[in-house]
Structure 1
Amino acid sequence: MHSAVLLIEFGAIILALGLLGRIAGRLRFSPIPLYLLAGLAFGQGGLLPLGASEEFVATGAEIGVILLLLMLGLEYTASDLVSNLKTQYPAGAVDFALNALPGAAAALLLGWGPVAAVVLGGVTWISSSGVIAKVLGDLGRVGNRETPVVLSILVLEDLAMAVYLPIVTALVAGVSLAAGSVTLAIALGVAGLVLFVAVRYGRIISRFVSSDDPEKLLLVVLGLTILVAGIAQELQVSAAVGAFLVGIALSGEVAEGAHTLLSPLRDLFAAVFFVFFGLHTDPASIPPVLLPALALAVVTAGTKIATGYWAAKRAGIGVKGRWRAGGTLVARGEFSIVIAGLAVTAGVEPQLGPLATAYVLILVIVGPLTARWTEPVAARVTAWRRARRDGDGPAGPAPQDAVGARPETVEKVPLSKRQGPVEPSPVVD
């Protein structure tokens, strides 16, 4: 009887997620907010609380986080990460300062303490790679000159996760300063070792894992990833970081083949993860934190736009491209929820989960809108201010290029995070 109820509940969840994903596709926006809302509906205090399948969903959610970070690692090569770190670290530092500090300050102002401040700083810091990649494709900006700038910032954020997640894991576990330092040292040592091995012996590792049979390739990569993630978690490093490093170590045809095979599994278990996070958030706890979440969303949307604008200017991109880069970076999503999930599981602060849920719901919806409209709105405001200053009356309509059309004169570049750093160049649009 218990088995039958579990199958019915889990089957209903998967079917509901599929229908929600279809609705999101029709509306052309990310399904993440719908998945979170589904979790709120199925969780405690929701419309239809689940019972038998919650433990199974929890296991699926862990696999979802592991697959998210594995697929992220497969997008990069170790040499690309090293190159971006060497040349684009100023943009990464500005990104951290402008976007992590507001979240940390908000937690301290709310009286949540330093641990919650570190966690909320991470929630507001990391942009959603998945949402942003989809937005770039939907808006036809794959070949725009500002796109490599956006991707470089995402690369730096993802690389920083390998250091940040072990810190958060140690903090929420309440370990001592000495034990936390040891954990961080182990994490940095493992990350450095994996990067070194990936650069020097990546082809050998990929050859060992490689197989012409998709079934064997899937089983070897998935088994290796879960094994390494488990070992990493046992060492108090972070299962997610372990999965990320496995992805980095694989390259070439093996990485491409694994990416193709694992994408459906990633989508399935990532959706389960978002539902699981929603299950642990009481819908009644969201209204009290809605105003702080909205204020934080407004502030950090502005700081992300400023980050993208500054980074694009540093790379020699014209004014229109700077605004487009800034608006594209606004969306938060999967990794903000991953970070908040660590704190929720550890019981750091009861209101942190609801605030993170509301915050992500707001920005995952607003993000695609800012990506589309930041540049044309900025162009209209600039034209209006110029008209007022020159006394020419109301500004006329913005040029066609300023209202969302993709410029035909931009230099085309491939959409891939497997590319070198963005060097400063003459200013162009």
Structure 2
Amino acid sequence: MDPEEEFLITFFSHVSQLNFDKAKERLEQQRVAQPQSGPWHTLVTLLPQLAAAERSYMDLGFFLPRNKGFLRKDNSLRSIYDASCTDYRRLEDVARSTGAGTIATVANQLSQFCMARVELIDFYERMYVTSCGKQLCYQELSTHIEDLAAKHAMSFSHMTLTSVKATFSLECEVLVHLLRAQLETQHWRFLHALMQLHGAHTRVAAWERSLHSKESWTLGFGATFLKTSQLPGLFQWLLKLKAALVAKFSLYFYCTLAMQTVAPEMKALCSRLSCDYYHKMQTFQRRYDASAVMLVFDAHDLDDFPGPGYHLPDRPVERLSNLHAYPIVISCPVKPLNHIPNVAKVLSERAAELAAMDKVIFYFSEKEQSTYALALTDPRMSLVVIFDSKKTEKDSFITNFVSELSQQLRCHKVISSLKLSAK
């Protein structure tokens, strides 16, 4: 390995581990030691801008306001990567014409890396924009990031770029697994969702280990501490999204998980989640004397149904169709099977209103003398609150609870926090 390749390996290792001060120090040493002309000098001159772009990217700098106007240069992060891509392509041409093959190859692959970063910026911006609406199409986002990961699977794979390649791949894989986990949870597929969450967890852990190998600082008596506050905003946001999906998974598959342990342990485990949804449902049901607070799954046209832990009850034949098509996923305090026909009626007759996901639907049954408040948490999952008395939209405590819990379970707020996390 020649000294130039050794330098690049070390430099990009520092960048991928967020050791930007050490990366800068190595660059300064290289400038002093090397000639002030030629392709190598040009490459070393371009690297500080890439390091600065990576620092900003990891802190979600692409969401910061752009400084663009009359006689002002666009200094957005996207424009910096675009400009760097152009610079590396020019360097590649010069290096090839002068016979500097290694530098030409590295320049070519760095231009690929810059373009891949721009595409990821586009992806995050798309996520944020869609999260601002009532509905967020996770299937489209999942397909998008899977295509992006596949497109760059063989890109910038030169040995000098091994560390940044690894970080890029981990980032894409975390996103792929988290979005797949969301889709599998939406469709009430326990094992598939669990496998995707585990996949995300292993990638996050691997990425975190690489970050923890960064420089530490000493505070008296030789005690060493990691600068945990320096964990990048992007990494912290991915942790937040993962935690939100684990909390959602724990509610959608509460009955399945509860069978694996005892009640006190299940309660303790849920209390450590980012949000204990089951406790929220229990608290509301008890405080406002609701007959039931439950999630109901729409299993119409699904070939792989029944779902996890679901068994058809011993009921009259005329009720089996509704019970099978609309199984109760979780209910506090018990499953009110006698209410399923009315719930099924509302879900089918007012499907268009519910699909808009912009309001809570109320229905009062004269026969049962019961009120049903419903909203979709996902395309096939509905939050239903039942009262054994007449209630209306004017009962704000019901409307607010159903609306807020539904929004939380959609994970829109976590995704929209992307922009708020930028610094």
Structures share a fold, TM > 0.5?
A: no
Higher RCO (C-alpha 8 Å, min separation 6):
1
Which structure has the greater CA radius of gyration?
2
For normalisation by structure 1, the TM-score amounts to 0.25
Name the structure where strand makes up a greater proportion of residues. Answer: 2
Answer 1 or 2: which has greater helix percent: 1
Instruction: Compute the TM-score of the two structures, normalised by the length of structure 2.
Output: 0.25
